[in-house]
Amino acid sequence: MPRVSYAFFGLAALCGLIGTIWGEHMGRTDNHSTFIAHAHLNLVGWVSMAVMGGFYALAAGTYPRWLAWTNFALQALAAVCLTIAMVYLMAFVDRRFVPVAIVGSASAIFSMVAFLAAVLISWRNSARSPG
Ligand code: HEM
Ligand code: HEM
């Protein structure tokens, strides 16, 4: 498996671990005030990173490596910034975290653009070989 996929799965597992401990804590304390941040850490960190890492493993050798690593860096930044921004902005309504939300949102969008580009380049490159 390519190193970029190990990076995606490593960070996905870390986000998944923190996200599930967080979920358990919300349930046990009956305090769901941070559930939006919990949801995004799990969906942007655990689920999306695992999906992307899986693609880069399956399509190894058909996409530019720099693009896959750019996708990884943007997705990691998105997971961290969106989670922090959603805790402080949406749960504690602290407006000082608006810039963190902007960085998180922008990196989430650019990360998806990078992933789409990688899928399309991989598709074009693999179309040249049979199967
Ligand atoms: C130990 C595991 C987990 C526990 C105990 C847990 C617990 C919770 C709790 C208490 C809420 C708040 C519900 C509410 O107030 O509406 C919540 C919301 C949510 N969780 Fe988890 N969670 C866990 C793992 C996960 C995982 C692995 C994912 C994603 C793959 C996930 C995705 C979500 C989503 C999307 C929401 C928001 C749902 C909504 O819009 O109401 N959770 N979770
Ligand atoms: C630019 C990045 C993103 C931003 C700024 C963002 C922001 C938001 C906001 C403001 C809500 C409404 C929360 C509420 O008041 O109930 C929401 C809900 C939700 N988002 Fe996102 N989101 C982003 C990316 C994503 C991604 C990539 C996924 C899935 C992989 C996702 C899954 C969800 C889900 C399932 C809900 C409903 C559950 C909840 O309320 O927590 N979001 N998002």
pLDDT tens across 78-129, in order? Answer: 999 999 999 999 889 999 999 999 999 999 999 999 999 999 999 999 987 7
The percentage of residues in the chain with a pLDDT greater than 70, rounded to a whole number, is 98
Tell me, using a 6 A CB cutoff, whether residue 19 lines ligand 1: yes
Report which ligand 1 atom has the smallest distance to the Cα of 32. Answer: 15
Tell me, using a 6 A CB cutoff, whether residue 27 lines ligand 1: yes
Q: How many residues does the chain have?
A: 131
Output the CA 74–ligand 1 centroid distance in Å: 24
d(Cα 71, Cα 8) in Å, to the nearest integer? 10
Tell me, using a 6 A CB cutoff, whether residue 121 lines ligand 1: no
95: domain range?
3-127
Residue type, 84: I
Nearest CA to ligand 1 atom 43: 23
Domain count of the chain? Answer: 1
Q: List, in order, residues 6 or more apart from 61 with CB less than 8 Å away.
A: none
Task: Compute CA 54 distance to the chain's CA centroid, rounded to the nearest angstrom.
Answer: 13
The pLDDT of residue 130 is above 80: no
